[in-house]
């Protein structure tokens, strides 16, 4: 899974760069050809719908929708269609905190426990030293996405998710390595109501959505009720039609991922960012804090093998709520977001006063491909077919996954049986990090229910010895995995271990000890 994670991380931490529009052509971008390329690429990747907007200077130069909002229905995507922007929410949280810095109510290097006394990490030193800056630039020592199952469709509150993070084990030394953490950004956002007395949602709406005229943007899936121009997320399996799926619920990690918006509204956010905090003559963010957020805080080293495919790119780092890299002599400020069934990306090049936002309603690599297509077009080399290249990458990665499954099946010992009767595997299992899971018997087979979540319920089938396969009923985006029961010296089950290989959620870090033996 390391290679798969590499690709998804590449998708997560790079964003699109482009210029296009109804206005005059800029620096070599052929807008008509770009539009054709977007149409062509959408079909190649079998993406149901996509919206793209380009900003130049202080205005929206181009905004257009492609495809449909939901597979099997006729509603078309346009520039006002709502999508989940997921992790592109993080820049709003960073900006909110930057305003409090300017007001003297906060400093970037203030200790987190000064505002959240109940905040705890994996040891006392990190707990006491963790700063607001650390929360936003992903250098806590945790590995990328560690603990995300704490908020993924669970009934845990935002505070409970943050509190349970103390049980996460570090992968790196504190401040020694980049490790992307939604939970740490959520903790950063949690500081806002402690200082202002207002909720994170109200603060974002009052200080950014209203002043910028982002009238369509939302801050919770619950706000989608009665909205009509909404793109639905999709799961696209190989050889099958796109499958519409439900929106993820982000409320318990809202400062990291809750914004739902369209390309027109998000364009206004980009205009503000690339014009040093000024929008239509009003200073909403200070130039000083824009510089701070767009400056390197944590190195995120490029993979040497991948670097050769991206000429002109030499460095990759992270700021405060933004990813950063260089490309052919300019700094690219960017971020992307991934949710179940949706990928979003946004980018600005402050030196050129240009930017782009792309929203899609399936999980795919196309936004990365489009980034390099328009980058090369902008710099005078439009002939590289990046969509075709990343389709080959996808095919290669899919083949690796297939090989892994075939290898596991080849190494399987056939015709084995569980050591115990199925009823002896049933019961409650749990640990401090996630909480409890229940194994029960239904119609002659075992079922594993992750109790904090109403979604994560899986059917088990015997595979070999004490290992069972698990297929989650309500999560088509997650693949089949395994559940391994550990039998102790007493001949009884003491523990179970879950492994559902995927690039986003680490089931192996969850502990499930048998509670009622």
Predicted pLDDT of residue 195: 98
Predicted pLDDT of residue 365: 86
In sequence order, what are the beta bridge partners of 243?
235
Decide: 316 and 324 in contact? Cβ < 8 Å: yes
Residue-by-residue DSSP string for 310-342? STT---EEE-SS-EEEEETTEEEEEEEEEETTE
Residue identified by tokens 């084995």 is 416
Decide: 18 and 357 in contact? Cβ < 8 Å: no
Q: 182 phi and psi, to 5 degrees?
A: -65, -35
Phi/psi region, residue 145 (left: phi>0; alpha: psi -120 to 50; beta: rest), is left
List alpha helices for 103-233, DSSP H: 124-129, 132-137, 158-164, 182-196, 200-204, 210-212
Which pTM does this prediction carry? 0.92
Predicted pLDDT of residue 3: 42
Q: How open is the CA angle 21-268-313, to the nearest 5 degrees?
A: 65
Q: 331 phi and psi, to 5 degrees?
A: -90, 130
- Reduced to 3 states (helix: H, G, I; strand: E, B; else coil), residue 88 is helix
Question: pLDDT tens, 451-477?
Answer: 999 999 999 999 999 999 999 999 999
Q: 269 phi and psi, to 5 degrees?
A: -65, -40
Distance of CA 509 to the CA centre of its chain: 19
Query: Cα separation of 20 and 355, whole Å?
Result: 9
Per-residue pLDDT tens digits of the chain, which is 517 residues long: 334 443 344 443 343 333 233 233 345 467 788 889 899 999 999 999 999 998 889 999 889 999 999 999 999 999 999 999 999 999 999 999 999 999 999 999 999 999 999 999 999 999 999 999 999 999 999 999 999 999 999 999 999 999 999 999 999 999 999 999 999 999 999 999 999 999 999 999 999 999 999 999 999 999 999 999 999 999 998 889 999 999 999 999 999 999 999 999 999 999 999 999 999 999 999 999 999 999 999 999 888 888 888 878 899 999 999 999 998 889 999 999 999 999 998 999 899 888 889 999 999 988 878 877 776 777 777 778 888 998 998 888 888 888 988 888 888 898 999 999 999 999 999 999 999 999 999 999 999 999 999 999 999 999 999 999 999 999 999 999 999 999 999 999 999 999 999 999 999 999 999 997 5
Extract the tokens encoding 151: 């908020």
Residue-by-residue DSSP string for 375-435? HHHHTT-TT--HHHHHHHHHHHHHHHHHHHHHHHHHH--TT---SS-GGGG-EEEEETTTE
Residue identified by tokens 């964003």 is 15
Q: How many residues comprise the chain?
A: 517
Q: 199 phi and psi, to 5 degrees?
A: -70, 160
If we measure between CA atoms, which residue out of 84, 97, 7, 60 comes closest to residue 319? 97
Domains annotated on the chain, with CATH:
2-88+216-399 (3.40.710.10), 422-514 (2.40.128.600)
The number of beta carbons lying within 10 Å of the beta carbon of residue 383 is 7
Q: CA 129, 131, 133, 138 torsion: positive or negative?
A: positive
Question: pLDDT tens, 281-314?
Answer: 999 999 999 999 999 999 998 888 888 888 788 9
Query: Cα separation of 12 and 283, whole Å?
Result: 30
The number of beta carbons lying within 10 Å of the beta carbon of residue 119 is 22
Decide: 495 and 513 in contact? Cβ < 8 Å: yes
Measure the N-to-C terminal CA separation of the chain; round to a whole number of Å.
34
The number of beta carbons lying within 10 Å of the beta carbon of residue 164 is 21
| Contacts of 416-421 spanning 24+ positions with Cβ under 8 A | 416/464, 416/465, 417/462, 418/462, 418/465, 418/466, 419/465, 419/466, 419/487, 420/487, 420/491, 420/492, 420/493
The number of beta carbons lying within 10 Å of the beta carbon of residue 6 is 15
CB burial of residue 356 (10 Å; 0-12, 13-18, 19+): buried
Predicted pLDDT of residue 239: 85
Query: Cα separation of 329 and 89, whole Å?
Result: 28
The number of beta carbons lying within 10 Å of the beta carbon of residue 496 is 22
Query: Cα separation of 361 and 346, whole Å?
Result: 15
């Amino acid at each position: 899974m390391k290679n798969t994670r590499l690709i998804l991380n590449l998708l997560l931490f790079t964003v699109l760069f482009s210029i296009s529009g109804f206005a005059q052509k800029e620096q070599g971008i052929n807008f008509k050809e770009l539009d054709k390329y977007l149409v062509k690429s959408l079909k190649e990747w079998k993406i149901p719908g996509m919206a793209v907007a380009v900003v130049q200077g202080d205005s929206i130069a181009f905004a257009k929708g492609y495809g449909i909002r939901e597979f099997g229905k006729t509603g078309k995507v346009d520039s006002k269609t709502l999508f989940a922007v997921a992790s592109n929410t993080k820049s709003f949280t960073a900006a909110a905190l930057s305003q409090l810095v300017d007001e003297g109510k906060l400093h970037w290097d203030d200790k987190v426990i000064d505002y959240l006394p109940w905040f705890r990490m994996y040891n006392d030193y990190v707990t006491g030293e963790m700063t607001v800056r650390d929360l936003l630039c992903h250098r806590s020592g945790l590995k990328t996405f560690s603990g995300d199952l704490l908020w993924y469709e669970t009934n845990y509150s935002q505070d409970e998710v943050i509190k349970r993070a103390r049980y996460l084990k570090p992968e790196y030394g504190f401040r020694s390595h980049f490790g992307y953490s939604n939970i740490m950004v959520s903790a950063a956002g949690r500081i806002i109501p402690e200082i202002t007395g207002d909720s994170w949602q109200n603060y974002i709406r009052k200080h950014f959505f209203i002043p910028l005229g982002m009238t369509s943007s939302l801050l919770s899936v619950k706000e989608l009720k009665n909205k009509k121009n909404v793109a639905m997320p999709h799961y696209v399996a190989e050889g099958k039609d796109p499958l519409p799926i439900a929106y993820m619920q982000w409320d318990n990690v809202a400062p990291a991922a809750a914004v739902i918006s369209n390309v027109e509204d998000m364009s206004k956010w980009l205009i503000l960012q690339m014009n040093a905090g000024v929008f239509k003559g009003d200073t909403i963010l200070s130039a000083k804090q824009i510089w701070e957020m767009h400056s390197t805080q944590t190195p995120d080293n490029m993979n040497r093998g991948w670097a050769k495919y991206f000429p002109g790119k030499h460095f990759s780092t992270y700021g405060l709520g933004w990813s950063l890299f260089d490309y052919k002599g300019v700094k690219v400020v960017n971020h992307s977001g991934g949710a179940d069934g949706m990928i979003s990306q946004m980018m600005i090049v402050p030196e050129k006063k240009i930017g782009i936002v792309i929203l899609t309603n399936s999980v795919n690599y196309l936004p990365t491909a489009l980034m390099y297509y328009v980058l090369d077009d902008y710099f005078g080399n439009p002939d590289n077919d990046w969509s075709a290249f990343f389709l080959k990458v996808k095919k290669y990665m899919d083949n690796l996954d297939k090989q892994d499954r075939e290898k596991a099946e080849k190494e399987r010992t056939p015709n084995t049986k569980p050591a115990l009767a199925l009823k002896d595997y049933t019961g409650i299992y749990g640990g401090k990090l996630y909480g409890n899971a229940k194994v029960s018997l239904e119609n002659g087979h075992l079922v594993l229910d992750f109790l904090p979540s109403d979604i994560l319920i899986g059917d088990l089938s015997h595979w070999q010895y004490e290992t069972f396969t698990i297929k989650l009923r309500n999560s088509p985006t997650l693949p089949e995995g395994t559940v391994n029961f550990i039998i102790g010296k007493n001949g009884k089950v003491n523990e179970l271990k879950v492994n559902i290989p995927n690039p986003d959620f680490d089931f192996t870090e969850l502990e499930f000890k048998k509670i009622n033996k």
